[in-house]
Amino acid sequence: MSDASADNIVNEAEFGDYFALLKPRVMTLVVFTAFVGLLAAPVSVHPFVGFTAILFIALGGGASGALNMWYDADIDAIMRRTQKRPIPAGKVTADEAKALGIALSGLSVLMLGLASNWFAAGFLAFTIFFYVVIYTMWLKRWTPQNIVIGGAAGAFPPMIGWAAATGGVSIESVLMFALIFLWTPPHFWALALFMRNDYDNAKVPMLTVTHGRRSTRAHIFWYTVVLAVFAIAAGFTSLGGPVYLVVAGVLNIQFLIGAYRIWRRDEVGSEVDNFAEERKFFKLSLAYLFLHFGAILVEAGLDRFGVWA
């Protein structure tokens, strides 16, 4: 820095600002679902290898988050939810985020390949490509189905965890993918119903804007119906068992009731109670995903300790 102005110096980044580029909250979901995918697999992995695999799957997810922040810096500066991210806040430059994202992408793929296998590493590379190029650069600003496409990127980690253990893909890992993939749209569309202006201002084509709020409510309900079918189906594979089926049964009934109520409501009724039903559904969706994967983890643990054997 040759002309260090006072403003530049005041805004200089700390370590935490670079860490924030990796979207730590999204990384926790990646760590958790990849961990479940790895443990649910029928092949046991050395704990250190498993730990390394999860770490670099998470780092790959973080790297794609940094590349997403680099590319989306313009809309992040407009949306209230994202204005405090390191680039719009002036802490880190977009070029630094790009360099960090590219470097960590390469490192995470290489290390995952060395720790587990090259199929899993290739899968991680594809996931980063999918999230950054297909979703962020291409479809996010172009189609109202952006949430559906973006959901696919978020749904790959349990499949990568499974692949790190087994070296392949199976019906179980595809069902774990389906669980997150189909859960993402109702989760985000419920958010879009009560966080109204953010996406409009940034000109991101959310379903609420392009197809209207009535259509979004119907979409939430029908996606939830399909999600419930896949969530219950997973219970009849090696992922499931009595614990999973009870958890999935209760949660899917609650989720369907919530989605049905959102579908039947009109805007006037929603505004009267400040979108209470939509907010409740959004909160339930967080528990929904966590508890489904938690139940898969419990089943894997019970299986390993021979409880159902």
Partner 1 sequence: MTIGRQHELHKRRFSRNMGLGLVLAAFVVLVFGLTVVKVTGGNVSQAISGTTGQ
Compute the half-sphere exposure of residue 222: CA atoms within 13 Å on the CB side of its CA. 6
Q: Which one among 2, 3, 10, 274 touches partner 1, defined by CB under 8 A?
A: 10
Q: Which two tokens stand for residue 234?
A: 């997973």
309 binds partner 1 (CB under 8 A): no
Nearest to 104 by CA among 23, 1, 29: 23
Handedness of CA 42, 45, 51, 52 (dihedral sign): negative
CB of 37 vs partner 1, minimal distance in Å: 20
Site string for partner 1, 102-131 (x = CB under 8 A): ------------xx----------------
CB of 91 vs partner 1, minimal distance in Å: 10
Q: Which one among 1, 2, 15, 305 touches partner 1, defined by CB under 8 A?
A: 15
18 binds partner 1 (CB under 8 A): yes
9 binds partner 1 (CB under 8 A): yes
Nearest-angstrom CA–CA distance, 124 and 112: 8
Q: Which two tokens stand for residue 297?
A: 């983890």
Inter-residue contact 239 to 299 (CB < 8 Å): yes
Q: Which one among 49, 89, 102, 139 touches partner 1, defined by CB under 8 A?
A: 49
Nearest to 144 by CA among 187, 96, 71, 203: 203
The CA angle 179-195-136, to the nearest 5 degrees, is 55
CB of 266 vs partner 1, minimal distance in Å: 51
Q: Which is nearer to partner 1, 114 or 286 (CB)?
A: 114
What's the Cα-to-Cα distance from 2 to each of 5, 45, 89, 285, rounded to whole Å?
9, 51, 22, 50
12 binds partner 1 (CB under 8 A): yes
Handedness of CA 196, 67, 184, 142 (dihedral sign): positive
Q: Which is nearer to partner 1, 15 or 305 (CB)?
A: 15
13 binds partner 1 (CB under 8 A): yes
CB count, 10 Å around CB of 9? 9
Instruction: Give CA 209 to chain center in angstroms.
Output: 22
Q: Which one among 2, 3, 6, 309 touches partner 1, defined by CB under 8 A?
A: 6
Q: How many residues bind partner 1 (CB under 8 A)?
A: 17
95 binds partner 1 (CB under 8 A): no
268 binds partner 1 (CB under 8 A): no
Binders of partner 1 among residues 236 to 255 (CB under 8 A) are: none
Site string for partner 1, 55-94 (x = CB under 8 A): x---------------------------------------
Q: Which one among 3, 48, 197, 272 touches partner 1, defined by CB under 8 A?
A: 48
Helix (H/G/I), strand (E/B), else coil: 93? coil
Handedness of CA 34, 31, 84, 94 (dihedral sign): negative
Inter-residue contact 180 to 296 (CB < 8 Å): no
> Which positions touch partner 1 (CB under 8 A)?
6, 9-10, 12-16, 18-19, 46, 48-49, 52, 55, 114-115
